Structure 1
């Protein structure tokens, strides 16, 4: 097997990257081997979640490693890419060399985005970074996941419609709504799949299925080693 590499990244913190990574990983590992790589030092929220989980469950099919530098990240991918079906990378809460390296190493970058002005402002600069990364990773696909959406709020839908109209990136049709189950389950080392909110569980399963369909069509990524690619990473 050769793992599909899925990075979860944004240019600001507090957008739900770690929560989304945890939930996707749990659903994917129900019938596949999944490795998570936590690239969010020093916070390491994903590692903290996994530590709680490890005390509660006998986990099968889901493992975690941490990386604090691009070299560590690339080494982990190279070492484990033939041992797992999926490698999910949880990015830092800002653009740094690790996030830039993720863009050059991933088949798919998932961008969690809430329909708020603050997040849209940060997303605009991140989209420019993606356009630069594609020069070095020709097989990179990036898609938005609308996250923490208040479905009955008119302004939320207006923001979504505007971004969908103006962005070069497409969004998954699967929307993650604003539900306390995502926060509560994460705090207990669980996913919403293992929680009591059937709607949240259905949302994450639907998104997981969509992610699998997308990555199944993507070719392998060969890490760019040109000086210009290395300079792109170092800019972080």
Structure 2
């Protein structure tokens, strides 16, 4: 049996999907797991971030590949899955063959969304795709995570209540708040866990999410 396949996916762009995928992949590698990050987004932002990481000789090194086509993604992941303990797929930004292929391959899907009404509508789209994937893939777990959440206000509670309308997704009450440290780390191909000076609040939020997922 191959490694666990985790897709961080959404049909909407700008929800912090790539940043979250990077943080999950690097955190798992820091925990001693052999990790492969598959960039299934046409923009290839995750691949770029990991290239920056590689140029800086930062450890642990993370293996990466870019497959924006669903057929190619499926073939390569099935071919390579026994070589890694965790495969993290960064997929979507829109409904694509790569996102659909990733969902069917996955053990776990993480759907980041922002506390804005337009984002909550996008949850309906991905929930429908998850239902389709479940028709072909038993045991697919899917979680909605509030990402780039506000540090104050009721948006978070409102968004959590809206996700309850979509039984395909389980809401995880482990929001990742909008913090400069997270964006700065990702821009350098790093997890917030590696950043100096430390942002203890951001680290605590990421660790709470990882504990819920794994």
TM-score of the superposed pair, with normalisation by structure 2 = 0.92
CA contact (8 A) 1:10 1:94 kept: yes
Q: State the match for 2:112 in structure 1.
A: 112
CA contact (8 A) 1:32 1:61 kept: no
- How far residue 105 of structure 1 moved from its aligned partner, in angstroms, is 0.7
1:77-130 C-alpha deviation (Å, 9 max, x unpaired): 122211111000000210011111111111111100111111011111221222
Q: State the match for 2:99 in structure 1.
A: 99
Higher strand share: 2
Report matched runs for 1:1-236 at 5 Å.
2-30=2-30, 31-41=32-42, 43-60=43-60, 62-164=62-164, 166-168=165-167, 169-195=169-195, 196-212=198-214
Unaligned residue ranges in structure 2 (runs of 5+): none
Give the superposed CA RMSD. Answer: 1.5
Distance in 1 (CA, whole Å) between partners of 2:51 and 2:155 is: 38
SS of the counterpart of 1:138? coil
CA contact (8 A) 1:40 1:92 kept: yes
1:20-44 C-alpha deviation (Å, 9 max, x unpaired): 0000111101221000000111x10
Q: How many residues align?
A: 210
Q: Compare CA radii of gyration and give the structure with the larger one.
A: 1
Distance in 2 (CA, whole Å) between partners of 1:194 and 1:59 is: 10
Unaligned residue ranges in structure 1 (runs of 5+): 213-236
- Structure 1 residues 139 and 199, CA, compared in 2 at 3 Å: closer, same or farther? same
SS of the counterpart of 1:134? helix
CA contact (8 A) 2:54 2:61 kept: no
CA contact (8 A) 2:181 2:199 kept: yes
Indicate the larger mover: 145-154 or 17-26: 145-154
Distance in 1 (CA, whole Å) between partners of 2:188 and 2:121 is: 32
TM-score of the superposed pair, with normalisation by structure 1 = 0.84
Distance in 2 (CA, whole Å) between partners of 1:101 and 1:202 is: 32
CA contact (8 A) 2:146 2:156 kept: no
CA contact (8 A) 2:160 2:171 kept: no
SS of the counterpart of 2:36? strand
- Structure 1 residues 88 and 138, CA, compared in 2 at 3 Å: closer, same or farther? same
Distance in 2 (CA, whole Å) between partners of 1:40 and 1:53 is: 19
